Structure 1
Amino acid sequence: MIVPFSAADFLDRALAVYADRTGVVDEPSQPAESLGEVSYARMGELARAQAAKLDELGVGFGDRVAYVSHNSARLLTAFFGVAGHGRVLVPINFRLSVEEVAYIVAHSGARVLYVDPELSEALADVSCEMKFVIGDDADMYAEGVDPQPWEHDENATATINYTSGTTARPKGVQITHRNIWTNATTFALHVGATDRDVYLHTLPMFHANGWGMPFAMTGLGVRHVVIRKIDGAEILRRVERHGVTVMCAAPAVVAAVLEAAETWEGEVPGRDRVRIIVAGAPPPSRTVARVEEELGWEFIQIYGLTETSPLLTVNRSRAEWDDLAPAERAAKLVRQGQPALGCTLKVSESGEVLARSNVVLEGYWEQPEESAAALADGWFHTGDGGVIGDDGYLTISDRKKDVIITGGENVSSIEVEDAIFSHPDVAEVAVIGVPDDKWGETIKALVVRTEGSELTEQELIDYVKSKVARYKAPSSVEFREVLARTATGKLQKFKLRQPYWEGRERQVN
């Protein structure tokens, strides 16, 4: 018997087993009216009401529905009300510029756009066939109406998640229902999730579908706790208030929690209870040790990409390491880990990490050439360089594709270079990532000014912030007389990066 997988399966199970349990605690402080504590039964009603509203709007199965939103209970429910009912959810990074959001809405062909009320004015010029403000619930839900049934198709696209890559324009990653199902179930298995857990959404839900946690945790009846804006002290308060046991985070969030813990009065909450799952860039080993010693939380590292739903590897402390000193254990945990269940990895002759798994994307939306390149020879080409040790552990050693990961966000260096080069006083530019203890990497621009220009570092940074999302702007600018090139005129970025990474074993941080 073959029963097609569907994103709807996770909420369906919660409704069958945990209907009366609190499913989500919404962010109390937000511009839309908070939904407060929402039972799984009510989540199911809202998901069905959203699907019915899409029916009413004439949005058919396979049509795209875009969201630009901070974390919220409404966005969480949309994973089921939209994707779980046969439409394609397009969650968009709320930090992007107006131009970037407009491109994604247009490129995805979204027929409906829901915008966070905090962003409605800034995104007023982004056009879409139908556009609504989140929180105006009459535009989102048709209560008391049965939605049209959707025949589950596990190979149908469930979400399109836009990610920065090697080109200036983001690519739309098509994630299928089968991808979602495989990622969610294997992720939950590897981190030992149960219905006794409480999950804090410190990770943006738009980011690779919150790494699949909206699905995995819902299927197990876990209580979701929504946090809208990240603050280290507030994370600790919610861990204490709600009994949080698990969260996902970029290294910058880990750093914020450690900083807040230094001034926390009394014992840090969650000791011997919280599991913090980290990805985006490996933090320094001393940060891993501090998580264990100062917070008393378990540190789990994973590796993956938006294109892989995202889970490819898991590095979790094992019984053989129990007697190691924290520093020794931390040195083992900074590796990316061993392949997740159902995933096969290998390293190509050129040193690139390749993967095969049911979590690998269907393709890039309307970019067949990019899709063919990424999936060449039956393997997904990660663009990351790495080595696999004799014990099966993957260590990422360098980045093959031209992407900088800062604070867990992918930034195309080419995109930033385009923005900088549009300044009339810039003659040449190269953008590189340099190591940073807090953010993993920060963005540095190496710039040759036009003759006679007196352009300053701050002037250029401010200019770039007006062109792209603020987090994509360089944090430092170094002016040079010339940028070394090959005989054919190509910049050799590995040589430009070398002085900043000298003495480091790996060329990513």
Structure 2
Amino acid sequence: MELKTSAHVDTFPREQLPPAHQWPKLLLDPPQRAERAGPDGPAADGAPADGTYPNRLNCGAELLDRTIERFGADRPVFRTGAGEVWTYGELRAEVGRIAHVLTSDLGVVPGNRVLLRGPTTPHLAACWLAVMKAGAVAVTVLAAQRSHELATMCEIARISHALCDIRSVDDLAKAEVPGLRITTYGGEGPGDLLRLAAARPDDYPAVETSSDDVALIAFTSGTTGRPKGCMHFHRDVLAIADTFSRHLLKPQPDDVFAGSPPLGFTFGLGGLVIFPMRAGASSLLLEQAAPRQLLPALAEHRVTVLFTAPTAYRTMLDDVGAHDLSALRRCVSAGENLPASTWQDWYERTGLRIINGIGATELLHIFISAADDAIRPGTTGQPVPGWQARVVDTAGRPVPDGEPGLLAVRGPVGCRYLADERQSEYVRDGWNLTGDAYIRDPDGYFRYVARADDMIISAGYNIAGPEVEDALLRHPDVMEAAVIGRTDDRRGQVVAAYVVLREGAERHAEALKEFVRGELAPYKCPREVVFLDALPRTPTGKLQRFRLREE
């Protein structure tokens, strides 16, 4: 596929795209084109009437400026747990000021990578939109990630600038990334981003990026533990709203979105920023969104659309009756398999049907799902309009319905790793192989079987076992380590570590857990530590993980 003329001055993102023959086939003609047009051309959600995106496209301008043109500047866009409300007009002014600081004070040029880090707040979302409008590339990371992880991502993406909540700067500073310019916000110093922005103009004309200029790099961990940078275009950001959100969520301008996934996850970025803004709606951004914090917030702020993981739905079941959820009309689940029992229990207690879905960082958001009467508990659903899916064997040949195989999908967004040899593993014959084992039922519904690799999925988080093993092995008393996923009723899986210590070392599980918490994000920390005298291996020395799983 021939790329359009780029607006990037820093050409690194485009130069690092995989070669064209390794791309998946893209389906760039969105579904149901004739139904998309409103009386004046574009549909009410801003999707183009003819189903295509223009050559020059800036997703930040589309989500902010075009939405204001359709709905006005006085509508609420972001709310906080403390009761603060930002309007679209106020957000546009703040985004404009931050974009001026990026380009005038910090020297950011189109194509530069800007790392974003902090709790889920309107200011973090404003920073992301400012990076979009400035034509730079956003790399939003989790506030929980540690210096070792941050340093690796900065190295891979060659990140030059960072905007960081003052409360989350310590680990980023400890990463000691050469040449990284860190600008904090939420502090008191004269160099604070928001103080600098206060002196800048409100208006910032968006850089006229190409629709296929890279807008963001989202990192995911593979089974090797080395993170992979997934490169997504400006048109991709809109495509996920114009497929899954438009056709299954069917958001309304008066909707209030909320959820637990942080903006460092594309699940959260879509559900809390992209989808509501594309529809002129608002979202409640919570810094703390654990299940028992979610419930009272849903009731207090009259949330209508909820995004969270199956674990959270299970956890909230016991207390759901104590809160007024009468405003809630849409519940979305992704990040791990949703058991039919959880779906049924939630439905019986709330009358709400959870919209199950599977997505991937490589594909930006959900591509198989079902809503309303089309939902069948125990299945993920059918391909979202605009997407195709099939189940194949290891040679890429479709397998008969009812037989397990590898899930292969394609649509308007595809996997494009940043200079990573694993591109040829994920994309084969034009299809994206997600690493999930699935069964396609004869009626076209897709049923999850298991992960096809050693990825551990715990409470919606993807955790690479080898990455945790590497962290354990950095402890001076650890000789060997093996990490697997152990089945857990509440979290789907938990991280279980099998450890061989140096002779004479004390077997202290909690000390090892605390050590790993200092090396990796806390959700990657083992919940179980088993000490062994030796790990099971083949005569050639290969670790036999299956024996640990059978234990």
TM over 0.5, yes or no?
yes
User: Where does 1:157-236 land on structure 2 (aligned, <5 Å)?
Assistant: 157-189=214-246, 190-208=248-266, 210-213=268-271, 214-236=273-295
Query: In 2, distance between residues paired with 1:402 and 1:157?
Result: 30
> 1:93: which partner in 2?
142
Query: Which of 291, 310, 316 in structure 2 is aligned with 1:257?
Result: 316
2:160 alignment counterpart: 111
Q: Deviations over 1:228-278 (max 9, x none)?
A: 10233432222222221001102232234224336x2xxx32237332101
Q: Residue 121 of structure 2: which of 72, 91, 98 is its match?
A: 72
Scaled by the length of structure 1, the TM-score of the pair is 0.87
For residues 187-213 of structure 1, give each alpha carbon's deviation from its aligned partner in whole angstroms, at most 9, with x where no partner exists.
Answer: 222112111211114321111162523
Segment drifting more, 472-481 vs 128-137? 128-137
Root-mean-square deviation (CA, aligned residues, Å) is 2.3
What secondary structure does 2:69 align onto?
helix
Distance in 2, matches of 1:384 and 1:141, equals: 48
SS state of the match for residue 212, structure 2?
A: coil
For residue 183 of structure 2, what is the aligned residue in structure 1? 132
Q: Deviations over 1:69-116 (max 9, x none)?
A: 110001222332112431111100111112212322333222221222
1:476 correspondence with 2:528? yes
Determine the structure 2 residue equivalent to 1:12. Answer: 65
Give the length in aligned residue pairs.
Answer: 476
Per the alignment, residue 324 of structure 1 pairs with none
Distance in 1, Cα, partners of 2:153 & 2:513: 24
Structure 1 range deviating more: 7-16 or 431-440: 7-16
Secondary structure class of the residue paired with 1:82: helix
Q: Match of 2:422, SS?
A: helix
Aligned pairs for 1:351-390 within 5 A? 351-361=405-415, 363-367=416-420, 369-390=421-442
Distance 1:414 1:318, change over 3 A: same
CA–CA distance in 2 between the matches of 1:341 and 1:443?
A: 35
Distance in 1 of aligned mates of 2:337 and 2:304: 22
1:290 partner amino acid: D
Cα shift at 1:297: 2.9
Shift, 1:288, TM fit: 1.5
Which AA in structure 2 matches 1:43? L
Q: How far is the alpha carbon of 1:64 from its aligned partner?
A: 0.9
Match among 110, 114, 131 for residue 82 of structure 1? 131
C-alpha spacing 1:270/1:27, structure 2 compared with 1 (3 Å): closer
Deviations 1:22-55 (A, max 9, x none): 11113439xxxxxx21111111122222222222
Amino acid at match of 1:21: R
Letter in 2 for 1:10: L
SS in 2 for 1:95: coil
Instruction: Give the letter aligned to residue 75 of structure 2.
Output: R
CA shift for structure 1 position 472: 1.0
Structure-2 change in CA distance of 1:2 and 1:26 (3 Å): closer
Alignment-derived partner of residue 344 in structure 2 = 289
For 1:356 and 1:424, the matched residues in 2 are separated by 45
CA separation of 1:404/1:365 partners in 2, compared to 1, >3 Å: closer, same or farther? Answer: same
Stretch moving more, 436-445 or 459-468:
459-468
2:111 counterpart residue number: 62
| Shift in CA distance, 79/217, structure 1 to aligned 2, threshold 3 Å | same
Work out the CA distance in 2 between the residues paired with 1:125 and 1:312: 38
In structure 1, the residue matched to 2:13 is: none
Match of 2:208 among 144, 151, 162: 151
- In structure 1, the residue matched to 2:380 is 336
- Rounded Cα–Cα distance in structure 2 between residues aligned with 1:404 and 1:131: 32
**CA distance in structure 2 between the partners assigned to 1:449 and 1:122 by the alignment:** 28
3-state secondary structure, aligned to 2:145:
coil
* TM superposition shift of 1:494: 3.7
| 59-68 vs 198-207, greater mean Cα deviation | 198-207
Inter-CA distance 149–205: structure 2 relative to 1 (3 Å threshold):
closer
Residue 52 of structure 1 pairs with residue 100 of structure 2: yes
Change (3 A) 1:398 1:456: same
Q: Which shifted more, 96-105 or 66-75?
A: 96-105
Q: Contact 2:133–2:206 at 8 Å: present in 1 too?
A: no
Residue of structure 2 aligned with 1:308, choices 339, 353, 363: 363
In 1, distance between residues paired with 2:392 and 2:197?
47
Shift of 1:360: 1.7
Is this contact kept in 2: 1:315–1:335, CA < 8 A?
A: no
Task: Provide Cα deviations, 1:332-365, integer angstroms capped at 9, x if missing partner.
Answer: 323222111121112221322111111223x222
Which structure has more relative contact order (CA 8 Å, sep 6+)? It is 2
Are the structure 2 counterparts of residues 468 and 129 from structure 1 closer, same or farther at C-alpha, using a change threshold of 3 Å?
closer
Does structure 2 conserve the Cα–Cα contact (< 8 Å) formed by 1:301 and 1:334? no
Task: Please say if residues 61 and 86 of structure 1, whose CA atoms lie closer than 8 Å, have aligned partners that are also in contact.
Answer: yes
In structure 2, how many angstroms separate the alpha carbons of the residues matched to 1:222 and 1:149? 22
Task: Give how far 1:287 is off.
Answer: 1.9
Is the 8 Å Cα contact of residues 15 and 44 (structure 1) preserved in structure 2? no
Counterparts in 2 of 1:385 and 1:215: CA distance versus 1, 3 Å: same
Taking the aligned partners of 1:424 and 1:126, their CA distance within structure 2 comes to 21
Distance in 1 (alpha carbons) for counterparts of 2:546 and 2:381: 25
Read off the aligned partner of 1:356 and give its amino acid letter: R
2:100, 2:122 → 1: CA distance? 18
> Which ranges of structure 1 fall in alignment gaps of 5 or more residues?
30-35, 322-331, 500-509
Matched, 1:24 2:78: yes
Task: Name the structure 2 match of 1:41.
Answer: 89
**TM-score (norm. length: structure 2):** 0.81
Instruction: Please report how far the alpha carbon of residue 450 of structure 1 lies from its aligned counterpart in structure 2 after TM superposition.
Output: 3.8
* Helix, strand or coil at the partner of 2:222: coil
Q: Secondary structure at the match of 1:120?
A: helix
Q: In 2, distance between residues paired with 1:298 and 1:354?
A: 27
Counterpart of 1:3? 54
| Residues 392-411 of structure 1: pairs in structure 2 closer than 5 A | 392-411=444-463
Percent identical pairs in the alignment equals 29
